[in-house]
Amino acid sequence: MNHKGTSIIKTERLILRPFKMSDVCDVYDNYGSDVNVARYISWIPCDTIEKCENFIKFNLKEYKTNPKFYSWVITLDDNIIGSVAIFNVDDDNDSGELGYSLGSKWWSNGYMTEATNAVLNYSFNEIGFNRIYASCHEENIASKKVMEKLSMTYEGLLRDGQRNLDNTYSNLLLYAILKRDYKR
């Protein structure tokens, strides 16, 4: 693969760009502290300013030191509305995992499908990934719809596939798409 790190990606309505330290308050206000977003995530949410600062500091460090690090803030008209990333990058298998969050104020407008499609295009055509996979809680119908709109294939149910922040477990739906099946 030709790792380039996180580059700016522009779509019809959105700009995906690396995080900046000045994004802390907007990330917190617009999706980090959104309880509708937090109920489906396993990573520590940005539900405090301090956690938001730590999250962004982590991203800034990784941008400088890890060319395999892919993490974007999603902006609409200069407003931060969410984020998207490719993580668990596996060079041996040319694969990675897609993850995303979008503030609930912006749900049902096609923004996440637009953002993730742009990331898939970048991942397959610029970096050289062969397989991108993603998962969501069984109950997260909106995320399932995003993966289906991306033409990802349902691969199965991961029973108790995620430990939640409250130490319970949730089943995950697993989807994936191969470069040869990706059509932009």
42-84 pLDDT, tens digit per residue, is 666 677 899 889 999 999 999 999 999 999 999 999 999 999 9
CA distance 80 to 14: 10
CA distance 144 to 109: 15
**Mean pLDDT, residues 153-157 taken together:** 97
Q: CB within 8 A of 127, min separation 6: which ones?
A: 1, 2, 3, 4, 70
106-146 pLDDT, tens digit per residue, is 999 999 999 999 999 999 999 999 999 999 999 889 999 99
The per-residue DSSP string of 126-142 comes to: II--SEEEEEEETT-HH
Give the three-state DSSP class for 6.
Answer: coil
Q: What element of type H or E holds 183?
A: none
The backbone region for 160, taken as left when phi is positive above 0, alpha when psi lies in -120 to 50, beta otherwise, is left
